[in-house]
């Protein structure tokens, strides 16, 4: 059994346990293997392990992986996307996890050949270092996208603070869930907003307990070859 398969088995078990604790065993949680810090070879290992949702955060890395792999996988762009780089990625991805401003939406509308499934990024914690809208801004922003034909708002995304304080992390995820439910109840055709992209390697179990439907897992699943190289050279 490969290391990735071993990791995947463990993570699936953790997700199932978190779902059971939250009484949501019937819900599906999609694992996105964040491959931004690993090679094409290890990304291919992830695909062979059965992972078909892959996440990249730079246009160059995304393009390199797509050209090298040529596999039937779902590509997620999970990083902040500069407006001028939309044309480099928009027709190669299935999901964008960082829609956070009108200029970006307008460029997607202009460049996309087909509708793109988008998560609106919400900065629930209010940290200046993080991108994203406030919950109030997110609602108004999503309303403003009603006439965009190339954008489908499937859900919301956030990142919790880098802390070991579980109540703080949990509160951020709870607030995103509340915002998602509020938007979903508005019944927008262009924004079903049924999904929640939240939780990474260090906090995905809490995210699942609080309603995550997509978790973005990198180091705990596929590793970090840069970090491994640094450790090897010590």
Taking 90 as the threshold, does the pLDDT of residue 75 lie above it? yes
- Exposure letters 18-50 (e unless 16+ CB within 10 A, then b): bbeeeebeeeebbbbbbbbbbeeebbebbbebe
Confidence bin at 123 (pLDDT 50/70/90): very high
**Looking at residue 227, what is its pLDDT?**
62
What pLDDT, in 10s, does the model give residues 137-151? 999 999 999 999 999
Taking 80 as the threshold, does the pLDDT of residue 229 lie above it? no
What pLDDT, in 10s, does the model give residues 6-42? 999 999 999 999 999 999 988 999 999 999 999 999 9
Confidence bin at 71 (pLDDT 50/70/90): confident
Share of the chain above pLDDT 70, in %: 97
**Looking at residue 25, what is its pLDDT?**
86
**Looking at residue 232, what is its pLDDT?**
32
| Average pLDDT score, the chain | 94
Torsion angles phi and psi, residue 121, rounded to 5: -85, 125
Tokens of 31: 């694992």
Lowest mean pLDDT among 51-60, 77-86, 129-138, 191-200: 129-138
- Report how far residue 63's alpha carbon sits from residue 60's, in angstroms, rounded to the nearest whole number: 5
What pLDDT, in 10s, does the model give residues 155-211? 999 999 989 999 999 999 999 999 999 999 999 999 999 999 999 999 999 999 999
């Amino acid at each position: 059994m490969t290391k990735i398969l071993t990791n995947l088995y463990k993570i699936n078990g953790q997700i199932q346990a978190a779902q059971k604790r939250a009484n949501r065993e019937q819900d599906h949680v999609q694992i996105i293997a964040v491959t931004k810090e690993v090679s094409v070879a290890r990304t291919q290992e992830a695909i062979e392990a059965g992972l078909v949702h892959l996440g990249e955060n730079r246009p160059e890395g995304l393009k390199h992986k797509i050209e090298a792999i040529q596999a039937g996988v779902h590509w997620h762009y999970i990083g902040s996307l500069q407006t001028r780089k939309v044309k480099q990625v928009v027709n190669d991805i299935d999901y964008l996890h960082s829609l956070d401003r009108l200029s970006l939406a307008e460029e997607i509308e202009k460049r996309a050949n087909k509708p793109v499934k988008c998560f609106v990024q919400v900065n629930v914690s209010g940290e200046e270092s993080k991108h994203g809208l406030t919950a109030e801004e997110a609602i108004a922003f999503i309303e403003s996208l009603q006439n965009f034909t190339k954008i489908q708002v499937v859900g919301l995304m956030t990142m919790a603070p880098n802390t070991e304080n579980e109540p703080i992390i949990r509160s951020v995820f709870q607030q995103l869930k509340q915002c998602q439910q509020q938007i979903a109840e508005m019944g927008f055709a262009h924004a079903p907003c049924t999904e929640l992209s939240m939780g990474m390697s260090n906090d995905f179990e809490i995210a699942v307990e609080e309603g995550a439907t997509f978790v973005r897992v990198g180091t705990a699943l596929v590793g970090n070859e840069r970090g491994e190289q640094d450790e090897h050279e010590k």
